[in-house]
Amino acid sequence: MNFIWCYAPLILETMTEQEIKEKLCHYDLRNPDGVKSYGLLDAEEIKEEGYGNHKKEDCACDNCFYGRTKMAEELLKYVSNGV
């Protein structure tokens, strides 16, 4: 956990908000490269599947498996607070 807190300012200097969102869960609708980007699901199907602005429960996508989702969530808190 100290990794996020110690290096967060350094990462924020080199990553845009868009790049941070790319590290969110593949099923998080905020991820521009996620499930919504394929255009295979319409709004109703997305709602039925339970996708939203959060990670999928028990997800094993690459971003969740390697811990990038958790890091991206923390960094987005800093970006949204203007830190």
Spans of all domains in the chain:
2-80
CA–CA gap between residue 25 and residue 35 (Å, rounded): 9
Q: Which residue has the higher pLDDT, 8 or 68?
A: 68
39: confidence class by pLDDT, cuts 50, 70, 90: confident
Q: Give the best-scoring range by mean pLDDT among 31-35, 63-67, 76-80.
A: 63-67
Cα separation, 40 vs 80, in Å, equals 30
pTM of the model: 0.72
Mean pLDDT of the 41-70 span: 87
Is the pLDDT at 3 greater than 60? The verdict is no
Give residue 8's pLDDT.
52
pLDDT for position 78: 85
- Please report, in angstroms and rounded to a whole number, the separation of the first and last CA atoms in the chain: 19
